[in-house]
């Protein structure tokens, strides 16, 4: 079986492919010689954070002519990250991120569930609240700035210069984007209720929610 995929950008086209034709992203670990797309390879997180390697293609993210100050970072995140502005995964080039959001089977097929079966025992769970449901909507969040949240392996995303919303590998409609956010809010609300200061956490969440609504397609961005 082979798959039909959108045309990859040149940096992704250089990646090796797995047996069914998916390019193997740079971060992917090989388990017993086979790529396992669910597992991050050893040293890849360090390479991404310290050397600014693109999470998808592995090339440097630093703008070659204008330098670090002009570099933009593109995160592929779920819709709830538009609210809480965090990502467990490092950034990519914009075109690599768009390719991942349109070609990755997990991100593009709402019916697909994460496969946790047969994960190696040392596969580290990402920090932060992982919402293990397929939201059906992926967001490419492009920002010039980010920082690691102290004490966590979690990226705080800077103010976006652009957000691109996708559903099933195509641009998401406003209704799809809103539905994806709304369906995740109860999870974040119940998390906020467990906070040491639930009133403050819930109030902050509502601010984040209102801010996220401005980013959905047709929301005034």
Q: Which residues bind Zn ion (CB under 5 A)?
A: 11, 54, 56-57, 92-93, 96
- Residue whose CB is less far from Zn ion, 44 or 93: 93
Beta bridge mates, 73: 143
The H or E element that residue 205 is part of is helix 198-213
Q: How far apart (Å, rounded) are the C-alpha atoms in residues 211 and 154?
A: 20
- Residue whose CB is less far from Zn ion, 56 or 185: 56
What's the closest the beta carbon of residue 35 comes to Zn ion, in angstroms? 17
Query: For the chain, what percentages of helix, strand and coil (3-state, to nearest 5) are there?
Result: 30, 20, 50
- Residue whose CB is less far from Zn ion, 66 or 117: 66
Q: How far apart (Å, rounded) are the C-alpha atoms in residues 49 and 22?
A: 25
Contact yes or no for 28/106 (Cβ under 8 A): no
Q: Which residue is nearest to Zn ion (CB)?
A: 54
What's the closest the beta carbon of residue 8 comes to Zn ion, in angstroms? 10
For the chain, give the number of residues. 221
The structure tokens 């592995």 sit at: 58
- Residue whose CB is less far from Zn ion, 11 or 44: 11
Beta bridge mates, 162: 142
Contact yes or no for 8/103 (Cβ under 8 A): yes
What's the closest the beta carbon of residue 188 comes to Zn ion, in angstroms? 30
What's the closest the beta carbon of residue 147 comes to Zn ion, in angstroms? 21
What's the closest the beta carbon of residue 97 comes to Zn ion, in angstroms? 8
Contact yes or no for 59/14 (Cβ under 8 A): no
- Residue whose CB is less far from Zn ion, 48 or 185: 48
């Amino acid at each position: 079986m082979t798959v039909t995929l959108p045309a990859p950008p040149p940096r992704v086209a250089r990646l090796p492919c797995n047996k069914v034709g998916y390019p193997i992203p740079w971060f992917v670990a090989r388990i017993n010689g086979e790529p396992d797309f669910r597992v991050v390879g050893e040293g890849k997180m360090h390479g991404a954070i310290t050397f600014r390697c693109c999470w998808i293609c592995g090339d440097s993210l630093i703008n070659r002519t204008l330098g670090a100050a002009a570099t933009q970072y593109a995160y592929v995140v779920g819709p709830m990250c538009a609210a809480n502005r965090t990502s467990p995964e490092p950034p990519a080039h914009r075109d690599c991120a768009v390719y991942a959001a349109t070609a990755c089977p997990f991100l593009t097929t709402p019916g697909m569930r994460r496969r946790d079966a047969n994960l190696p025992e040392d596969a580290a769970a990402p920090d932060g609240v992982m919402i293990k449901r397929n939201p059906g909507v992926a967001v490419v969040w492009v920002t010039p700035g980010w920082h690691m949240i102290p004490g966590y392996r979690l990226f705080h995303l800077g103010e976006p210069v652009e957000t691109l919303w996708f559903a099933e590998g195509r641009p998401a409609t406003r209704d799809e984007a809103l539905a994806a956010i709304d369906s995740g809010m109860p999870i974040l609300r119940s998390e906020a209720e467990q906070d040491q200061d639930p009133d403050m956490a819930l109030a902050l969440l509502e601010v984040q929610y209102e801010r996220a609504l401005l980013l959905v397609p047709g929301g005034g961005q």
